[in-house]
Amino acid sequence: MSTANKKMNIAYWIVVVLFGGFMIFSAIPDIMMNPDAVKMIHDDMGYPMYFLKFIGVAKLLGGLAIIIPGFPRIKEWAYAGLMFDLISATYSFDALGKSPIEWAPMFLFIGLGFAAYVLYHKKYKTTAV
């Protein structure tokens, strides 16, 4: 393995673990119906209560799917679902009239997701050769 491939592999794992870890840890309060999560998603945003556990389980499974090696087709769906979750949450905050200071940090996680996806494809391309 060349030095460039090693560096790319290290960058990939750092970014994927950060992004996947964020999604997994953000899923736990949703699954456990944490009062803060209920207030934000149900009370403030107006989503139904059943949506909270659903989105929590989806984020947990998606986070695990991108961290666990292999399963390229499942990873594609997981990245799509996780990005849809983050972009939808950002839009929901904006639609509620929240200040950009409150929802702009979401772009950090969206960027981390895009970086993980791009690095995943670079890693997959170098190992498939």
Q: How many domains in the chain?
A: 1
- Show the domain range for 91: 3-128
pLDDT of residue 67: 96
pTM for this prediction: 0.90
pLDDT over 70 at 129, yes or no: no
pLDDT of residue 128: 58
pLDDT over 70 at 127, yes or no: no
pLDDT of residue 81: 97
Q: Where are the alpha helices (DSSP H) in the chain?
A: 3-31, 35-37, 49-67, 72-95, 100-103, 106-128
Chain length of the chain:
129
Neighbours of 63 (CB within 10 A): 23
What CA–CA distance (Å, rounded) separates 90 from 84? 10
pLDDT of residue 16: 97
pLDDT of residue 2: 80
pLDDT of residue 125: 78
pLDDT over 80 at 118, yes or no: yes
pLDDT over 60 at 53, yes or no: yes
